[in-house]
Amino acid sequence: MRISVVTVFPEYFDSPLGVSLVGRAIADGRLEVDFHDPRDHANGVHRQVDDAPFGGGPGMVMMPEPLARILEPLEGTHRVLFTPAGAPLTQSTLDRFAEMDHLTLVCGRYEGVDERIADHFIDEEVSLGDYVLLGGEVAASVVIEGVARLLPGVVGNPSSIESESFRGNLLEEPQYTRPADFRGWKAPEVLLSGDHGRIAEWRERQRRERTAQRRPDLLDDDERPVGSGCV
Ligand code: ADE
């Protein structure tokens, strides 16, 4: 899979792309990431990429021309713009992106990008959540990591992907490892019992209880505890 990142700060990605399983996926050739800096497509000695908003107001807007020069040749790839006004990123967004051959991630900066870029050169707008960051670079690195771990061969044991939080709309159950007794706090006896039926039943119950308690919004209407605040 190839991911093209449009950013005025390509150096931001040096460490997230260099370490851990993402670094290995790139070294192994399972994932290719390339960068396009709008400044390299800007005019004038100052290589200006932003300008004051029409109509006045605070901040600066990313000018359309440098972005269009990058994004027009990338037509045919799935072009994603990061903005707090986009649809919230979820596991199903990542599942969908991981199926693509070539994804383009556009990191907005300043007050955002000229809307004509979003209208004509972007296929989907995505937000990391209901808060405002300085730019889309953090979101792009989240997407790269979330997608990389879904690519074949990147995660050693693929069943860990199947059972994790947000698949089946349930949070993951709590996990324990040695020692069984840590400072007097004991791991649940059932997990040490060797009884796989009971263990599976316990895990399923934990997933449901945790989700009902912490994220009732993930459950269907009839599974939600009364008074959870979700309508
Ligand atoms: N750029 C600034 N804030 C953002 C957010 N919440 N999600 C995605 N991109 C952003």
Other CB atoms within a 10 A radius of the CB of residue 49 amount to 23
Average pLDDT over residues 99-121: 95
Q: What is the pLDDT of residue 220?
A: 83
* Domain limit, last residue, from 148, 180, 199: 148
Residue whose C-alpha is closest to residue 208's, from 196, 191, 193, 225: 225
- For 60-76, the pLDDT digits (tens) are 999 999 999 999 999 99
For residue 182, the enclosing domain spans: 163-223
Shared-domain flag, residues 110 and 54: yes
**C-alpha dihedral over 212, 218, 223, 227, to 10 degrees?**
60
Residue 4 and residue 105 in contact, taking contact as beta carbons nearer than 8 Å: yes
Shared-domain flag, residues 58 and 137: yes
Q: For residue 129, give the ligand 1 atom closest to its CA.
A: 6
- For 131-146, the pLDDT digits (tens) are 999 999 999 999 999 9
Number of domains the chain contains? 2
| Total-model pTM | 0.90
Say if 204 falls within a structural domain. yes
Say if 230 falls within a structural domain. no
Shared-domain flag, residues 141 and 171: no
Shared-domain flag, residues 80 and 138: yes
Shared-domain flag, residues 105 and 141: yes
Q: For residue 108, give the ligand 1 atom closest to its CA.
A: 1
Average pLDDT over residues 81-92: 96
Burial of 178 (0-12, 13-18, 19+ CB in 10 A): exposed
Shared-domain flag, residues 111 and 167: no
Cα four-point dihedral sign 124, 130, 134, 139: negative
How many angstroms is it from 19 CA to the middle of ligand 1?
24
Residue 136 and residue 83 in contact, taking contact as beta carbons nearer than 8 Å: yes
* Domain limit, last residue, from 120, 148, 176: 148
Distance, CA of 182 to CA of 200 (rounded, Å): 23
Going by alpha carbons, the residue nearest to atom 2 of ligand 1 is 133
